Structure 1
Amino acid sequence: MQPARCFPILAALFPLLSTPLLSAGQAATRHHAHGAGGASRAQPVILAEHPGTELDARARELSADDLADAKAHHDMPTVLIASAPLSATRGDIALFVQLQSARLCGSAGCSTSVYLRHDTQWKTVLDSVSGRISILPTSHKGMRDLLISDNDKWIWNGSSYQDTMPAAPIGDLRQSIEAHQKRADANDRKPGRKPD
């Protein structure tokens, strides 16, 4: 797609304006991410509405419980989807599904689930992650690695995607919570302080 001839200055100042928008399942080649190997070549997953398509129908079927719960609460989520080949197995396809509504999305944004079709069966391979998803050029055990929010790499362990970002040890977390609670209790016992 060529930049509009009447706006060459805007196209020069904002090169992304001249980049065509991508439909679901396609990947942009211009994506700058940091923090994980190969992230500069990551291909972003572009989620969009595709009502009436076979993949939209499949996404609604795979998300039936969440959609039924939303309907019971008088909520009508927007269903966004994208598809991409993640598997080295010919014919396998991944379906990225995000349900958007005020009730289903929180402070971290809306969560996305990833399903893999092998033959005629669909399997959840990544459930409810928040953040932008990109596909990395690297792979593990026959499946492409995923990048969530520019620095959180997920790899295939043979049955599902696993986060590679180290989590804080539970012992340290427990000590941190206990220390915070002791400080809060000490502040509550200070003379002149009224209990909440």
Structure 2
Amino acid sequence: MITTKDLQHLFALIAADIAAHRDHLCELDGAIGDGDHGLAMDAGCEASVKAVAALDPAQATPAAAFNTAAKAFLNAVGASSGPLYATAFMRAGAAVKDRPDLSDEEFLRAFAAMAAGIQERGKAEPGEKTMVDAWKPAADAALDAWASGASLLECFDLAERAARQGCEATRDMTAAKGRASRLGERVIGHIDPGAASAAIIIASIAKFVEQHDSCRIDM
């Protein structure tokens, strides 16, 4: 089972990995945007991990952890990624309701709810050079693998691969959303920074699942 304490660790992993890639994300954004995506994501993830870490894991449910992360991220980030990730975390919280801890399937459903929330809030479809190009293929890959009997670890391995492939595919796309959409074909050849940060977050979640699985085996 995945507990609130486990989720505190997950948010710490995400924050650390985004921080490590902050400057690269800013470079990607500088090519087709205003150059601050790495700073925004770093600020949002740092605020989220601090807020979630302040919860008492013996009292707070996983839903409370996701909702706390949502509020903190939104308060820290005024850019478009703020409402998108706030919605993602709120949808994850709604997906697990008042469960005291999460089964593998419930955690996977929370992940899928994050992806759906981002797509719906952003009103984006795959192929429009946004973070949806990483999130939707990742969620679809994980859900399909689960339906075929794969383990949670296998599901997130496939999700991470799909996210990286989706991110890389944005290099050959024009943009239909945001500031980059004004640049027309000049954005071709550049990876979407939102897709890049999404791929990092999904890789962090996959790493968390791997570590959690190893701990379960050791026990």
Q: Above 0.5 in TM-score?
A: no
TM-score w.r.t. the length of structure 2 is 0.23
TM-score w.r.t. the length of structure 1 is 0.24
Indicate the structure whose relative CO is greater, using CA pairs within 8 Å and at least 6 residues apart.
2
Structure whose residues are more often helix by fraction: 2
Structure whose residues are more often strand by fraction: 1
